[in-house]
Structure 1
């Protein structure tokens, strides 16, 4: 990928001497040889098992480590439950103050394991003579499992290298963060490991955005104009800064990103968001759903397994059930499930748990899109409903009204159709048009432009959520009546779909 390689982070062995590395991330220093974690020179109390876990993760930044692999490494001689691992990870997070001021070190990667997402820099550490035979702590880093995204990672890497500022755009659960981490991993060598991941999800005050970025870079800001101060501090450095989960503090992120981009020719920015930052220098890259078998396609096991959405489902079911072999009889059910889930990776990951427990046929028959959950995911990704709640709560009141009122449309619909159905109950034409534009910008409505006009569509998962909101607001009868009137009035016109 354009020469962007990877660096090895495991212990080295030279002339019979074991070189015990020291790793630096934020204000912390981890001495692997001494088995000590320090903050600003002060030793922090951390148990042996927690230190083993932290070392294993920090020595492989960006790599997704399966929970079972961590358990096998740390408790090789005993059998422990996954809950024990979670307790020790919680202790590490407490010691690192993980999540404070937007600074993140250990991330749960949806249904897959843990990843160290802090920026790690090796320090010059002392060497300790050892007569013992060197045993490497783990293997060279392997790339985290991605399906159907390899080409995207390469293309985004090239775009970032040429343009310096790229925003990965898409709805919740589409895999923006996964792509961003893969791009960062590929770029690590190019940037001399000056790759900084800033998770903005936990921020509630936009005024803390610049401080969160500065903390990730190892700075403490002091002036009132924090953005310009940060630019002055990093102007001469070559950095890649990943701004993850921007949508809820979008204005503050946009201002800071523009300042960083314009203030230096060596600062590269990769943002993930459900809407664009809309500032100078930004280039959009829309992250699309995984391809899934379309209606009418061949439905054998070999045929459907050519599609990334099916491959992801099969692998995740196998990871949960121990093994999984897709048969020709089951292939149509898998194809139908991936279509219902719109090829959204998060939805597929969550559905895999039910497949492992209930089987394919039963899962398809009772697929509850908005109630699938995963305990190890971040709060807003624990269920599809939580993911959509996150987006819905960021909408204006007009956008919320229009979103729920266009829920009766199945498939494509027109702007005029949306105006007719959504605009009758106290919302005007211009407000409806502005709301539709806003919903498109926020990745909640998909668009397709043909030769004559723009067509709109809600993903099935979003539509199911919007129908729930329609019921909550007691508007079902009135809106369905308007939708029926609209469809009836256009039955004879086949110039465009009506979304009936």
Structure 2
């Protein structure tokens, strides 16, 4: 059987009762989406595209874990999960066979829609190109793709540097073939008026059947105009979906809010092997970016504590980890850890072509901080004394002053949670709040800055 990879990299593959939308990374069993993680999908795609051929274990590992040393057992675990998801063993169904000492073969007949006479059309889009590999987001992106197919308005929220835009753009890439009128990107942080920027696009909402996806990026910087744009599009174009990134929800009708999580970091108390450590996405990202900076850099057993501590100190924030890895050749791990918190928070040396707010973590925090009200800034400065999760009662003891009255404190804390400066954990009793290490260092620096407004005495 010939390879299907060339004609179907943007199309649809059919096998058994399944329809594999390659570009969308979506597998349907009839009308039911199959719940598969990103790595399992990578394995399945390579096997299906090479149906009938033996694909070696080394080739599969290189495809699924590029630039990472992993054990063969990881591949076997994902193959087993694939077989279960595809229903192997029921009614004698067989899809994937193991060829001893060689690899795996996909044995079911596979058809591609391009071979059945349906052309694969180049999608309409204006998405900015991604220059780096997305790390640790496969499952989240796959889940988001499924959400977008069933909802019209989703807002991704999270702190600066967590990767909201990167996740949204990757999701939009995978959905391009689904929208016949294209996928369109508006960066509200890079334009004076997102409504005007949208109106300049070759998208005609007056056509009742207009079927498109709008990615509205960094909406918090032009919040009111973004709300107006979203409400207009939802009202006049029933087949247009909208994916938003913002530090805070827009709070418009029909909005589904999803938090973008930080990358996973290793626990401080556990002793890990190198293979176990790179299973944490924050460590994997650091290793990949460090190798890109210094090609002979290798993660050694003796480095694990330092890398884990660095990833925890940087809160698992992708931007912070990437910026730290950029200094591996000049500071080394010991030098990075020797930096005080405010020094790590100020590290800069990102891509010269990146927007200014992504060239250092401080620039990202500056970008967000300047949009806070004076009251929010004062409370944020006050709560920078907490290194552990705290309750509102504890915050009241240190934050209430002549400028921050008790009646305003709870409302202000709620707004800081809404704007992703604080995270909230609902405990057995009172909620507990937490500030990221990087944000706490920044808030403390702002408290000490001579030109910042000062809280009165507690």
Q: What is the TM-score when the length of structure 1 is the normalising length?
A: 0.63
Cα–Cα, structure 1 residues 310 and 285, in superposed 2: closer, same or farther, change >3 Å?
A: same
- Which residue does 1:119 correspond to in 2? 125
Would you say 1:261 and 2:246 are equivalent positions?
no
Whole-Å separation in 2 of the counterparts to 1:364 and 1:240 = 43
Equivalent position of 1:372 in the other structure: 347
Q: How does 1:421-436 map to 2 (within 5 A)?
A: 421-436=398-413
Q: Paired residue for 1:218?
A: 202
Of residues 182, 191, 198 in structure 2, which corresponds to 1:194?
Answer: 182
SS at 1:446 equivalent:
strand
- CA displacement at 1:5 relative to structure 2: 3.6
Conserved 8 A contact 1:164-1:267: yes
Deviations along 1:236-276, one digit per CA (max 9) or x if unpaired, are 30000000110011111112112212323201100000000
The Cα RMSD (Å) is 2.7
Shift of the alpha carbon at 1:298?
Answer: 2.0
Matched position secondary structure for 1:252: helix
**Residues 1:245 and 2:218 aligned together:** yes
Given that residues 301 and 330 in structure 1 are in contact (C-alpha distance below 8 angstroms), is that contact kept between their aligned partners in structure 2? no
**Aligned partner (choices 377, 381, 386) of residue 404 of structure 1:** 381
Report the Cα offset of residue 478 of structure 1.
Answer: 8.3
State how far apart, in whole Å, the 2-side matches of 1:384 and 1:118 are.
34
Residue 342 of structure 1, aligned match among 315, 329, 333: 315
Q: What is aligned with 2:162?
A: 174
2:399 and 2:147 map into 1 onto residues whose CA distance is 39
Corresponding residue to 1:277 among 239, 244, 250: 250
- Contiguous gaps of at least 5 residues in structure 2: 1-11, 13-18, 25-122
Within the alignment, does 1:461 sit opposite 2:438 as a pair? yes
Q: Does structure 2 retain, via aligned residues, the 8 Å contact 1:317–1:355? A: yes
Residue-pair matches, total:
338
Structure 1 segments, 4+ long, off by >4 Å, are 1-4, 141-144, 473-479
| Shift of residue 338, structure 1, vs aligned partner | 0.1
Per the normalisation by structure 2, the TM-score is 0.69
* Cα offsets for 1:25-74 (capped at 9, x unmatched): xxxxxxxxxxxxxxxxxxxxxxxxxxxxxxxxxxxxxxxxxxxxxxxxxx
Paired with 1:142 and 1:247, the residues of 2 have a C-alpha distance of: 22
Structure 1 match to 2:135: 147
Alignment equivalent of 1:288, drawn from 252, 257, 261: 261
- How far did 1:4 drift? 4.8
- Give the alignment partner of residue 360 of structure 2, picking from 383, 388, 410: 383
Instruction: Flag structure 1 segments of 5+ consecutive residues without an equivalent.
Output: 8-116, 122-140, 220-229, 483-500
Q: Cα 1:234–1:361, aligned 2, differ >3 Å: closer, same or farther?
A: farther
3-state SS of paired residue (1:189): helix
SS in 2 for 1:450: coil
